[in-house]
Amino acid sequence: MSARPTSPAPPTAVAVRQVRRRQRRRAVVVPLVLLALVVVLSVLTLCFGSVRLSVDQVLASLLGTRENGAVDFIVQEVSFPQVKAAIAVGLALGAAGTIFQQLLRNPLASPDFVGISSGASVAAVSALAIPAFSGASLPVMALIGAAVTAVLMYLLAWRDGVSGYRFILIGIGVSAFATGVIGYLLTRTSLNEARQALHWLTGSIGQAGEHETDLLLITLLAISPLVPTLQRALRNVELGDDTARVLGNRVELTRLGLLAVGVVLTAGATAVAGPIAFVALVAGPVADRLLGTARGGILAAAAMGAVLCLVSDYIAAEVLPVAMPTGVVTGAVGAPYLLWLIATTNRRGMGG
């Protein structure tokens, strides 16, 4: 008895498999290319800083293959801490931005606008401006401020669940209130401390010590094994609460966990560089353009955030006629993008 020939797969099933294969390939290739770009930009930044060095000199100093006191001092003591901070801050802001945007299902829902950065800034400025908090650790104060703000916003936005649109509106109000508190604190402190706080509030990579940067890097390393789990959780939440519950997800617990990760990353980045504007807002959408149908990748958004911070910091420090805080460059680039995003969002009717 002859075996029956297997029927070919329907054209629709074949097309679906091909699309999924391309999505998986792109979801792997794009983050790897962006991370490689981060490495290349880091080396170029070290080569073309205030002192010009060759690629061979930079790599030899970083890898320790050849000793040169002058080159080692320039690379390891002067330039590399700045580059390391830019990478850490960019990774944290890029990841936090895309987590908030997917969690709240709105492209405007970045830590810049939902009050998280403002809450961290209030606590950090308190550490700089209030004598009673003068000995407090800046990262700890920023984390406390971001956490308290996030909990307050979550409670205010709760109504049989959390709506992304309501959360964003409350975040805008909290951000405005935090701005007023910061202004009051600045008027009650000395001129020198107010100047220091204003410089920090503009957002400038490299103004914190290596201790803060190392803490942020340790946080990133600790969270990195959780990225696949976080990615799956975001995919489920994006399907809507009812669908996520049918799939067996505890929606509010998942939302709280994702929110906690975004708050920790935002607080760490704010403690290192201050509230650098627009990186968290821009990194995710730009990464999504590169990912295509595989959009929403946390790793790709984090790598894009690192690229944006490296380029912006180099422009602010080396290209402009006068050295500026990094936030000046990110603000100049991000503000037109925000206006375009608001205009296109209104046309599409995307309320969140």
Check whether 5 has a pLDDT greater than 70.
no
pLDDT higher than threshold 80 for residue 216: yes
86-114 tens-digit pLDDT? 999 999 999 999 999 988 888 878 888 88
Instruction: Report the predicted TM-score, pTM, of the whole model to 2 decimal places.
Output: 0.88
What's the CA angle centered on 178, arms 238 and 93, to 5 degrees?
A: 45
CB 276 within 8 A of CB 203: yes
The answer to whether residues 25 and 291 touch, using CB atoms and an 8 Å cutoff, is no
204 CB-side CA count, 13 A: 16
Domains of the chain in sequence order = 21-344 (1.10.3470.10)
Closest C-alpha among 326, 305, 319, 328 to residue 45: 319
Across the range 179-195, mean pLDDT stands at 86
Sign of CA dihedral 75, 142, 223, 305: negative
Measured CA to CA, the distance from residue 104 to residue 259 in angstroms comes to 10
Give the pLDDT band of residue 298 (cuts 50, 70, 90): very high
Q: What is the pLDDT of residue 10?
A: 60
Q: Is 337 exposed, middle or buried (0-12, 13-18, 19+ CB in 10 A)?
A: middle
Residue 177's SS3 state is: helix
Q: How far apart are CA 339 and CA 321, in angstroms?
A: 27
